[in-house]
Amino acid sequence: MDILFNNQIVSRDSVSIDIEDRGYQFGDGIYEVVSIYNGELFEWEAHLERFVRSAKEIALTLPEQFDLLKENIMRLIEDNHIEEGYAYFQLTRGTALRMHAFPEPQAEPVLTGMVKNATSPPITAVKAITTEDIRWLRVDIKSLNLLPNCMAKQKAVEAGAQEAIFIRDHYVTEASSSNVFGVKNGVLYTHPINNLILNGITRQVVLRLAGNLHYKVVEEAFTRDELMDMDEVFITNTGLNVCPVIEIDGMLIGEGVCGPITSSLMSAFGELIQ
């Protein structure tokens, strides 16, 4: 399998990452996951913009020839004949003697990327648990520090669920790897964009689709109690797109099936990626 390593397409086996890479030791880096449909990168510009913003927020210098990124990922897609799947890429602050402060002079940032085929069968509905949001206060940055997310997802899996919905001070923020929407009396609710959630690209697409469908959307935080009382709940992310949540903490949401508004958004999304 060929992968991207600092602007070179090389075989995965030929790459080595130094044990003092700051991504490896401190989680000092950022990443993106982009869907591939019909061999094309879905919402590339939005993902790139978020990646550049994440880099800026942690004072991480983009590597030289960063503008070749899309071209290189497209080459991976073509070489690997990926029609449907995803691209993953990440950038770390590079290799330096292990000291917490950023290295001076700067180290060479390390850029890696790969593409994968979609896993099948696709997931059509999930059960979720709620769990305390123990993450840091800058989760708007798509950083490599995902340990609380991994722990929450693991807790969900151990409870026989597939996703963990984070609760901070009684309010729903987002989930371990997705954004959360609720529907009550025909109105969509989701957490506003701030430092407490990742501004999901799928979330942005869904907000556009909801507008096209003339749904009322309220970008305001809602509590766990309000979540449990929603008529419909769904999550959004790269890969799942729009996915109904039919049960939370063992309680059915609505009738425990995909609701009509979720279903219409799933269809609208499906048309986009045909």
Tokens representing 266 are 């799933």
* By CB under 6 A, residue 237 contacts ligand PDD: yes
Verify binding: residue 90, ligand PDD, rule CB under 6 A.
no
With CB under 6 A as the contact rule, which of the stretches 114-122, 188-196, 235-243, 245-253 interacts with ligand PDD? 235-243
Which is the catalytic residue, given 56, 127, 142, 155? Answer: 142
Binding segment toward ligand PDD, per CB under 6 A, in 5-13, 155-163, 175-183, 220-228: 175-183
Is 70 catalytic? The answer is no
- In the complex with ligand PDD, the residue whose CB is nearer, 96 or 115, is 115
Q: Which of 179, 217, 218, 182 is nearest to 196 (CA)?
A: 179
Q: Would you count residue 148 as binding ligand PDD (CB under 6 A)?
A: no
State yes or no: residue 201 binds ligand PDD (CB under 6 A).
yes
- Which residues neighbour 47 within 8 Å (Cβ) at sequence distance 6 or greater? 32, 34, 41, 201
Token pair of 96 as six digits? 């330096």
Is 191 a residue that touches ligand PDD (CB under 6 A)?
no
Q: Is 174 in the site for ligand PDD (CB under 6 A)?
A: yes
Phi-psi region at 107: left, alpha or beta (left = phi > 0; alpha = psi -120 to 50): beta
Q: Can you say whether residue 94 is alpha, beta or left, with left for phi > 0 and alpha for psi between -120 and 50 degrees?
A: left
Measured in Å, how far apart are the chain's first and last C-alpha atoms?
A: 27
Residue 169 neighbours by CB under 8 Å, 6+ apart: none
The piece of 115-123, 201-209, 219-227, 252-260 that touches ligand PDD (CB under 6 A) is 201-209
* Residue 177 contacts ligand PDD per CB under 6 A: yes
Residues in contact with ligand PDD by the rule CB under 6 A: 33, 149, 174, 177-179, 198, 200-203, 236-239
Residues labelled as active-site residues:
142
